Each structure stands twice: as structure tokens, then as C-alpha cells.
Amino acid sequence: MENKLLHNSNEFILNRYPETNDNTLRAWSNAELLVLNYLKNLEHQNVHVFNDRFGVWNCTLHHKNVRTIWTYASQKKAVLNNLSSNNLSTNIIFNSPLEDIGEVQLALIKIPKSLELFELFLKQISKYSVENTQVVCGFMTKYFSKSYLTIAEKYFENVEQSKAWKKARLLVLRSPKKVLKIEIENIINTINWKENRLKQYLGVFSSDKIDIGTQFLLSHLKVKKHELTVLDVASGNGIISYEVLQQLSNAKVTLVDDFNLAIESSKLNIENARFICTDTIEGVTENEFDLILSNPPFHFEHENNIDITLYLFRRIKKCLKVEGRFLMVANAHLNYKTHLVKLFSSVQIIAKNTKFIIYECKC
Ligand SMILES: C[S@@+](CC[C@H](N)C(=O)[O-])C[C@H]1O[C@@H](n2cnc3c(N)ncnc32)[C@H](O)[C@@H]1O
């Protein structure tokens, strides 16, 4: 895999985390390089970076005051790994998108796949903007839609699109609009679920509804009385744990998700649980759980990748008690059974329909 980047006569070694066997993938895209090229004409010293997935901006702009708005635990690891492999200080400022990010003079965004997350970034930038705030957004043209423009125009008077370079383009946003405070602070979706209302931050999986695969899993979920330690892997807004607690209120539930806004959303919906933002199910012990549940991820931004899912299955097996069970729902076309039978001694299909399969696995 190509991992050497020459920038301003300096060579940087940039690797992806998690690692991948796909040699066509790099730790940066032409969109990020186009943004760097645009910066040559700017003198700003303070830069806020959003969605710097593997740390290309953190490394190449290390001589500036960079503040990183992080969204994924795996992103934090990637950025720190790449800083240390280039002998750069790892003593950098990470803020979640929900924190005070300080005055924004120049912000860089690698446009995320989620329109909602893009909007949340712009709301946050607007909140901390000054008159001459400038936002430089990089994207690959094949992933762009007009909706991104519409969102940008909601928050900035002046929105310019650059010419394409190697299939990448920029959106440069200037003159923040005077948007109502209530609009900027509106970053939560509400989902009607049975007699209750669940909440989640913009950008969290499945937006303003409960995913139909998850609904299928929940319609077959019957928590047993002795299943008191429960792990919800890739927990999103916490809907699965929420249902577990409806059935067994004294269960000790742990939720893990790579996305910090997912974990923060689940805190809005569930009390008395353990919440861990991690991509590798860290912070729990082996053989801890009676029941593990998941609607696991299989795409990451624009990439489909089941390597991460298969890694999570191996971790799940370790975390399960010997007599415990792992219940998960997956799209029928993914054919996880071939992988699960290599790990678990029993793999049963307990329900299926045209789109989804529910597997129950035992050690
Ligand atoms: C299909 S969604 C399921 C969300 C939720 N359980 C539901 O049913 O609505 C998958 C979730 O996996 C999370 N995710 C992606 N990679 C992960 C990883 N390595 N470890 C934990 N969670 C991950 C995503 O952030 C997303 O919230």
C-alpha cells in the first residue's frame, strides 16, 4: 500500500488504522491534498480540522496550531499512530463535536458521507465563527451531491466551488450567516419508538428512525432471566440496550461504539449503563457477558469492509461467558455464517426474512 506522502519537500509516512489488506486504499485522498494546496495562499496559524480520518492534516500542518474535532475512537488512534511514526508530538488538542471548540478562524473539513454530520460540523463552526471565518471543505467528486451545497448555503453567504483536480474539488465557505441560535443548537433528532421517544445526535446511524434490521432483531429478542450481564456491540443510539432493559431492568448493560456521537446519543436514552467509545471492544473483561447483541457495521464511510466486523466477532467470542450467547442481525446477502461457524461451536439461524437473518451463536 502506498504510504509515503511528499509535502513541501517533507516526506510523511501515513498508515491506515485499522490496517487493511486492500492495497488500493491509502491514508489520504486527493481531496485532502487539494485542501493542503489551497492553504499555501493562507497565513492562518490556528486551524480546526474536522474528519481528519487518518491524520494527514495533523501531520502535514503540525507546525500550526491544530485543533482536531474527532468523531471516531479509531480516528484518534490513527492520528496518534501517524504523528508518532513521523516523530511529531502527540500532545495535540482533541475536541468532540459537542465540546467548546474555541474561536474558529480557519476550518478544514473532509466532507463526511453523512449529510447530517456535515451539517452538525457547520452548525458547530457557525457557533464559534467570527466575521472572517473561512471553511475549506474537500471532497471526491463521485461522492458529492447538491445537498451538501444546500447545507453550506444555509450557514454561509459565500459558497464557492473550485475546479476539479484529480477527481477532487473544494467548497470554500466565507461570511458566516446570522443563523438563529435555536437553529444552530438544534443537533438532536427525535425518534418515536413504541410509547416513548428516543433521541440521537445528527449523523448517528439510521437518522430519525429505528433501522428495519434492528427492528427485526428486537421482534425476536427474549432476554432470559439469568442473562444479567449484557454487551451491546456497535450500539448506535442504544436502542438494543434500551429494549433489553425494558425486559430485564436489573441487567448490567455495557454499550460500545466507535462513534462518539453514537455513545453520547445512547446516554440520552439510557440510564445506569456503562458506555465505552471504542472500535475494539476495549475496557471490558474476557468471559464477562451472558448475552451479547449486535447489528454490526459493515460499511465505513464509502468503503464496504467486513474485516472490522470479523475482528469484532473474534473479540465477542472472547468476551462471552462459556455458556453465554451472541445474538445478531445481518443483511441476508452478507453470508456471515461461513465466518461464524469457524469461531463458534453452535451457529443457529433463529429467524429470517427476505432481507435479514438473525443468528444465535454459542461458544
Ligand atoms: C448498523 S449500526 C447499528 C447501531 C444500533 N445498534 C442500531 O441498531 O441502531 C452500526 C454501528 O457500528 C458502529 N461502529 C462502526 N465501527 C465500529 C467498531 N469498530 N466498533 C464498534 N462500533 C462500530 C457505527 O458507529 C454504528 O453506530
- CATH number, position 144: 3.40.50.150
Strands 104-110 and 303-304: unpaired
Å from CA of 267 to ligand 1 middle: 15
Å from CA of 171 to ligand 1 middle: 29
pLDDT in tens, 71-108: 999 999 999 999 999 999 999 999 999 999 999 999 99
Same domain assignment for residues 26 and 89: yes
Same domain assignment for residues 91 and 53: yes
Task: Copy the grid coordinates of residue 172.
Answer: 470554500
Residue 315 has pLDDT above 90, yes or no: yes
Question: Which of 149, 184, 219 finishes a domain?
Answer: 184
Q: What does the angle CA 264 – CA 265 – CA 267 come to, to the nearest 5 degrees?
A: 65
CA distance 50 to 173: 14
Same domain assignment for residues 286 and 270: yes
Residue 32 has pLDDT above 90, yes or no: yes
Same domain assignment for residues 146 and 25: yes
Which residues face 11 on adjacent strands?
A: 6
Å from CA of 309 to ligand 1 middle: 10
Same domain assignment for residues 156 and 242: no
Same domain assignment for residues 302 and 198: yes
CA distance 238 to 254: 10
Range of the domain at 143: 4-184
Ligand 1: list residues with CB < 6 Å.
Answer: 205-206, 211, 214, 234-237, 239-240, 256-259, 262, 279, 295, 297, 308, 312
Counting from 1 in the atom list of ligand 1, the atom nearest the Cα of 211 is 9
Which residues, 6 or more positions from 176, have their beta carbon under 8 angstroms from its beta carbon?
Answer: 125, 126, 129, 130, 131, 133, 155, 156, 157
Question: Which of 156, 184, 212 finishes a domain?
Answer: 184
Ligand 1 pocket check: which of 51, 204, 259 to mutate, most ligand atoms within 8 Å of Cβ?
259
Same domain assignment for residues 340 and 242: yes
Å from CA of 250 to ligand 1 middle: 24
Counting from 1 in the atom list of ligand 1, the atom nearest the Cα of 232 is 6
Residue 300 has pLDDT above 90, yes or no: no
Same domain assignment for residues 118 and 242: no
Question: Which of 128, 158, 184 finishes a domain?
Answer: 184
C-alpha closest to that of 171 among 180, 160, 155: 160
CA distance 322 to 318: 9
Same domain assignment for residues 357 and 224: yes
pTM above 0.85, yes or no: yes
Same domain assignment for residues 214 and 256: yes
Work out how many domains the chain is built from and give that number.
2
Same domain assignment for residues 215 and 287: yes
Same domain assignment for residues 322 and 217: yes
- Going by pLDDT thresholds of 50, 70 and 90, the confidence category of residue 174 is very high
- Going by pLDDT thresholds of 50, 70 and 90, the confidence category of residue 60 is very high
C-alpha closest to that of 348 among 322, 326, 324: 326
Ligand 1 pocket check: which of 72, 75, 253, 257 to mutate, most ligand atoms within 8 Å of Cβ?
257
